[in-house]
Amino acid sequence: MKTLGWIAINGFREAVRDKVMYSLVAFAVLLIVASYIVGELTAGQDVKITKDLGLSAIGIFGLFMAIFIGIGLVSKEVERRSIYSLLAKPIRRSDLVIGKYLGLVLTLVVNVAVMTAALYLVLAYLGTEESDLARQAREAPLLDPALLKAVGLMLVQLMVVTATALFFSTFSTPILSAVLTFLVYVAGFFSADLRNFDQVVDSRVVQALARGLYYMLPNLASFDVTAQVVHGLPITWRYMAVTTAYGLTYITILLVMSATIFSRRDFK
Amino acid sequence: MPLAIETIELTKDYAVGFWRKRPRRALDHLSLQVETGEVFGFLGPNGAGKTTTLKLLMQLVFPTSGEARILGRPPGDLGAKRRLGYLPENPYFYDYLTAEELLAYFAGLLGLPPADRRRRVSALLDQVGLGNERKLQLRKFSKGMLQRVGIAQALLNEPDLVILDEPMSGLDPLGRRDVRKLILELRDRGCTVFFSSHVLSDAEALCSRVAILAKGRLVASGRLSDMLAFGVRGWELVVANMSDTLVAKYRPRLSRAEPLGGGRFSLELPIETPPEQLLTELTADGGQLVSLNPLRETLENFFVEHVGQRP
């Protein structure tokens, strides 16, 4: 466990000292603040718009981080040959894969927390100028704690994406890994459509293929509860728990596969 | 005496080619034994398979056939890794860390307690001459400085065995002297040192035994001095205060004479002509000796002669 901790902390330190990440977070915070301006343009819907845009910004910038840092987690170590002296230490290759993954999860948690704090600040500021009429018309509280539920599930979704990026990077090039991860991300939002493919297509082969893909790809849409939260619809704790457990299971499978592939690789 | 390193018929093929992969043999049935406490030189020209062997020992690559044992255990064994240090060729480390942070990170992975960690990191940075650069990020380090950091990280756990891949590479003469001194210090405290090099003089100065590798095969192993191919084959003198006429006088006894400019000449004597007699005469004629060196078979010549004709 100590070994994993050391590797994770070093991975976190790598991200924290990377200037690119700061510009990403700064840009995301800027976008959240800008959502206030967009909100102002819509009559009476400013809080909803700010929440919607704010949560989307957190998701998109989190996705950038998950993919672009995720694909480099292990491949950068191999490419730059820093892995040679690292693997000479008493660690297993699987420790390296899991430790690096945990380091990026820690990075994501910190960054998402910063962006969420920015969103709450913008909302609090909106509250100071809100009219009584608008306050009564709102479907959800201004500083709605349910926003944290949406952010929490988004974080699990980003963890799935990171594990996917890491998995691809254990056997392919960084660029191909980024493309494949992005494809999985997009397809992951349409996996419910794959389940219903047999209603629109007659070919049994295509049906079987669609069903296979449905079971293989992560159902990323299930982690997205932004619309419900924005409109004040309830998200049950049961839904939170089941979805999180689904995400964690998916992550575990990906990490085991990544560690297995990585443990057999030659570092020429 | 237990063996520090043993390889039995160790073989490695790499797949080359894009579409139709075909195997290329990097290491061919290498059987080698390194005894505990010795300084062992692993020599060979570039591309001989030295780095591949070292990577096999460190389990950075897996063998196609054969086996290796390191400190009596298979490569990759965590217990063995706790007792060994490894310097990769042209090492690269995380450039966002300082030298001190990198060593502290590795010391943590080695399981050193916090107090020992600080003491050991500090002492090693001083030992490799980077005491003043401990707070500097590694991105600002020169190649030679990175090599020194690499050596320091290999010694963090006070290892019983160190494996160094081209430890002199990238170092200036001062650095090379320091590394030589360090290797001898390690030997004196009972540590086994196994290092690869393509520079013969490093091996001559340090090794009790050497193995010579070419095209993936073991060409020779044993004491360097016992290998006849490395015997002296002549002498090279650099002499100042000479004139063309004076050189012409000695020319019949020389195998080569070359002007270096400014009255300096490089003269070569065959092995059957002792340099003492010639030196006495030259000095009497007003010549001044600048240097006298034995001419040895170079490692490269050795390879050309012994392995050049092999397929």
Domains of chain B: 3-228 (3.40.50.300), 230-299 (3.30.70.3100)
Asked if the Cβ–Cβ distance from A84 to B153 is below 8 Å, we say no
pTM of full prediction above 0.90 = no
How confident is the model at residue A215, as a pLDDT?
A: 85
Cα nearest neighbour of A12 on chain B: B96
Q: Tens digit of pLDDT for each residue in A234-253?
A: 899 999 999 999 999 999 99
User: Which residues on chain B are in Cβ contact (under 8 Å) with A82?
Assistant: 92-94
Q: Tens digit of pLDDT for each residue in A39-60?
A: 777 766 778 888 888 899 899 9
Distance (Å, whole) CA B125 – CA B11: 37
B120 reaches A (C-beta below 8 A): no
User: Which residues on chain A are in Cβ contact (under 8 Å) with B14?
Assistant: 266, 268
CA distance B38 to chain A (A): 21
Instruction: Reply yes or no on whether the pLDDT at B305 is more than 70.
Output: no
Q: What is the average pLDDT score of chain A?
A: 88
A153 within 8 A of A237, measured Cβ to Cβ = no
How confident is the model at residue A127, as a pLDDT?
A: 79
Q: Tens digit of pLDDT for each residue in B244-296?
A: 888 999 999 898 899 998 889 999 998 888 888 888 998 999 999 999 988 87
> Percent of chain A at pLDDT above 70?
99
3-class DSSP string for B250-284 = HHHHCCEEEEEECCEEEEEEECCCCHHHHHHHHHH
ipTM: 0.86
Q: Tens digit of pLDDT for each residue in A130-186?
A: 777 777 777 777 778 889 999 999 999 999 999 999 999 999 899 999 999 999 999
Closest partner residue to A10 among B55, B60, B105, by Cβ?
B105
Instruction: Reply yes or no on whether the pLDDT at A117 is more than 80.
Output: yes
Q: Which residues of B126-140 are buried (b: 16+ CB within 10 A; e: fewer)?
A: ebbebeebeeebbee
Question: With bands split at pLDDT 50, 70 and 90, how would you rate the model's confidence at A204?
Answer: confident
Asked if the Cβ–Cβ distance from B94 to A82 is below 8 Å, we say yes
Asked if the Cβ–Cβ distance from B58 to A2 is below 8 Å, we say no
Asked if the Cβ–Cβ distance from A268 to B87 is below 8 Å, we say no
Asked if the Cβ–Cβ distance from B97 to A89 is below 8 Å, we say no
Cα nearest neighbour of A10 on chain B: B105
CA distance B1 to chain A (A): 25
Instruction: Reply yes or no on whether the pLDDT at B306 is more than 90.
Output: no
CA distance A81 to chain B (A): 6
Domain boundaries, chain A: 2-263
Of the candidates B205, B240, B227, B249, the one whose C-alpha atom is nearest the C-alpha of residue B305 is B227
Count CB-CB contacts under 10 A for residue B65.
Answer: 11
Average the pLDDT over B195-220 and give the result. 86
Instruction: Reply yes or no on whether the pLDDT at B311 is more than 50.
Output: no
A19 reaches B (C-beta below 8 A): no
